[in-house]
Chains A and B, each alone.
Chain A
Amino acid sequence: MKESLVYVSWGGTGQPSSVRQALKRAAEVERPMLYLAVLDPENFGDLDSPTTSLVVEELKWLLDAQLDLVKSQLGVEDHEVEVLVKVGDVAEMVEQAVKPIAPTDILVGAPLPAGYTEPDALTELLARVTGCPVTVFPARTPADSS
């Protein structure tokens, strides 16, 4: 997959609105999209290997279903999208995933509970290790608005 657009999420399924934005952008620029979901140590680090494998398998199933739905809603049923679920540190997994595919953009859209992670720091890190422009979709919890 060359000249792809990579959408990154972690901690579960991607934020619905940001998945839509990512797929819309990929369709507009006519690039295939890699939907990378990471089971990060913060949320899944305590699980043993067999349980993690089960979660990977089930999450892949859910993300396939989610993408199918979003594609049909956006009318881009034939757009090329691959779902990849990885386990480990978010930055490391993104670096591993993007190396062989030379993406044009990296879009980050993960549910970020207040104070759990710092999107700015992550954006800078991803940009540095991948050499790609990185965009973070706003993904805020209701508590952040206080």
Chain B
Amino acid sequence: MIGLQLPSVLASVGFLATEANGEASEFLRQEIAAVVLLAIGAGVAVLAKRLKFPYTVALVLAGFAASTLGELVAVDVSPDLILALLVPPLLFEATLHLPWVKLKADLTPVLLLAVFGTAAGTLGLGWLVHATLGIPWPAAFAFGALISATDPVAVIAFFKSLGTPKRLSVLVEGESLFNDAVAVVAFTLAVGVAEGTEFSVGGAAIDFIVVSVGGLAVGAVLGYVVGAVILARLDDALIETATTLALAYGSYLLAERFGAVVGAEFHFSGILAVVAAGLMVGTVGLTNTSPTTRITLEHFWELLTFLVNSMVFLTIGLTIPPQVLLKELDAVLIALVGVLVVRLVLVHGLSIVTQRLVPRRRIPMKYRHVMMWGGLRGAISLALVLTMTAEVFGEETAETVRVMTFGVVLFTLLIQGTTMTGLIRRLGLSGTADNEMAQQRHQARIAMRRAGQSEVGRLGAEGVLFSDMADALARTYQRDIASESSSLRDHFTGHPELEASMLIQARRDALVAERSALADIDRTGLVDTQVATDLAVELNNRMAALDLIEERWES
């Protein structure tokens, strides 16, 4: 679990409760650690939004900064915490928003990259670090597997803000969801070999199939039960939301402990179980539940993801001291070059295979560049490498693999993560972002001038300004507003592609205003509570329908 080293300042002012033996309780230490991390996360989120900097990258940097404070905010991360507690909600939320209709259309390239790509990456990178750094085979393949798991959190956030095509998002997210599971299975096999389990290619292949299919089956069954039986039949936002939370953790636990449940020594992939459960709920549950529940559920998962991401990326910054990387710089550089080259070859190579297999689903060259450079590494790689103990792999080997993993994760987050926006814009995949920014500039100026005009009117009415001056200023403002409105109209005429997104955004704003008006009416008691509730449901329905139109509309 996360354990915060006791800040002496806080202890000295009596902030921390102490037990009879003078030591603060472990529970309180963990509670304070969580509160401090969340507070930092919230602060970083505000700053990142203002500075338009990638949130997850900002969190890593904040983690670095906090780690320089020494024991003040040092954390002790357990890999189990990341894998069992933090990863399931991240995967579940991502699958909820991955429309099955879109994923199904691109299942061939997604599975090729996730299964074949991860397997090939494991072998290729394993061979590279074995041949160049002399890392023993089991540890080399363990590294190859764990570093093949991509983490698209930061990249997907860019996609959303830049308005990139939905298909690109589906390809990147889909690959990541499935390759996490494949990487974990391959990693577990490599660790098993290091622990002395006999290895054979045939046995490994069978293990892989059993673990994967079993995980998918557990998740699919539980997801179907929750989606089709509970979500589709109940109409209670709180119960349904709580059920999905239980499903996300429950499917992971049941798959991982399936052997113990049936009294045998095997397990299934918990990660694949979560993915299957999320896809099932998103497909048969969410689309069959009431709009009010859908909105509550989406807000809940959005909040939970924000909290978990804050924890994960701050922890990455806190646990990777940059100076450690300098100790084994050659190993880090070899791993980094290997990761980039393997990613380049696999993305482009498997895209060509896709084109042969499914000509209609050709992956455009621009997409391939983004998929290659967008292959960031994060929480899964970090969690897996922390499970590599000195007892199994040897002190030196475990340390080298850990440093290489830290180096690759940091490079991908800090360098690839911060240059993605530029790449997407350069490739012309940023949708209408530039035009939208120009449009927003016009709109903001109009709103600003109106505020100025209103203030001038107020000063005139109160006699602070004499009326002739107030009128003159107001007329000047009016001319500015008219000129800006005219510019906005010209801009809009020149860029009709802005119309759909602007229309949808305006409609959403209007519905929010309607909701606010309804709340006012309800507060003043002008209408019966039942009438207000019915009208609120009607508004929620409209909002949910608008979300669906926007989500599925391809610009």
Q: B-contacting residues of A (Cβ < 8 Å)?
A: 11-13, 15-17, 20, 42-48, 51, 54-55, 57-59, 61-62, 65-66, 69, 73, 111-116, 118, 141-146
Contacts and interface: CB of A to CB of B under 8 A. Distances in A.
B222 to A, nearest CB: 20
B548 to A, nearest CB: 5
Contact of B507 (A43, A46, A62): A62
B283 interface: yes
A115 B362 contact: yes
A13 B287 CA distance: 21
Closest 4 CB pairs of A and B: A12-B553, A58-B545, A16-B496, A16-B499
Contact of B165 (A42, A65, A142): A142
Contacts of B549: 12-13, 55, 58-59, 62
Contacts of B165: 113, 141-143
Point out which of B366, B429, B500, B544 has the most chain A C-beta atoms below 10 A from its C-beta: B500
Nearest to B552: A43
B364 A54 contact: no
Contacts, number: 115
Q: How large is the interface on B (under 10, 10 to 19, 20 to 34, 35 or more residues)?
A: 35 or more
27 contacts: A12-B553, A13-B500, A13-B504, A13-B549, A15-B497, A16-B498, A16-B500, A43-B552, A45-B101, A46-B100, A47-B287, A48-B287, A48-B288, A54-B544, A55-B545, A58-B542, A58-B545, A58-B549, A59-B549, A61-B507, A62-B503, A65-B507, A66-B499, A69-B499, A113-B165, A115-B361, A141-B555
B487 interface: no
A13 B364 contact: no
B190 to A, nearest CB: 37
A54 B429 contact: no
A114 B364 contact: yes
B500 A12 contact: yes
B450 interface: no
Contacts of A144: 364
Nearest to B359: A115
Interface string B197-233: 0000000000000000000000000000000000010
A29 to B, nearest CB: 22
Interface string B475-508: 0000000000000000001001111100110010
B144 interface: no
Contacts of B367: 143, 146
B541 interface: yes
A57 to B, nearest CB: 7
Nearest to B540: A54
Given A20-B496, A55-B549, A62 B504 contact: yes
A4 to B, nearest CB: 24
A134 to B, nearest CB: 21
Interface of B: 99-101, 105, 165-168, 232, 283, 287-288, 291, 360-362, 364-367, 428-429, 431, 493, 496-500, 503-504, 507, 541-542, 544-546, 548-550, 552-555
Nearest to A48: B288
Contacts of A58: 542, 545-546, 549
A46 B105 CA distance: 14
B493 A73 contact: yes
Contacts of A66: 499-500, 503
A57 B545 contact: yes
Contacts of B544: 51, 54
Given A115-B361, A143-B367, 6 more contacts: A45-B101, A46-B101, A47-B548, A112-B554, A116-B554, A142-B165
A42 to B, nearest CB: 6
Contacts of B360: 115, 118
A141 B555 CA distance: 7
Given A20-B496, A43-B101, A65-B503, A146 B287 contact: no
Contacts of A61: 507
B428 A142 contact: yes
B295 to A, nearest CB: 13
Contacts of A44: 548, 552
A146 B364 contact: yes
A142 B503 contact: no
Contacts of A73: 493
Contacts of A42: 101, 105
Contacts of B99: 46
B535 to A, nearest CB: 15
A116 B367 CA distance: 15
A49 B283 CA distance: 14
B291 A54 contact: yes
Nearest to A56: B545
Contact of B554 (A47, A57, A111): A111
Nearest to A141: B165
B429 to A, nearest CB: 6
B440 to A, nearest CB: 18
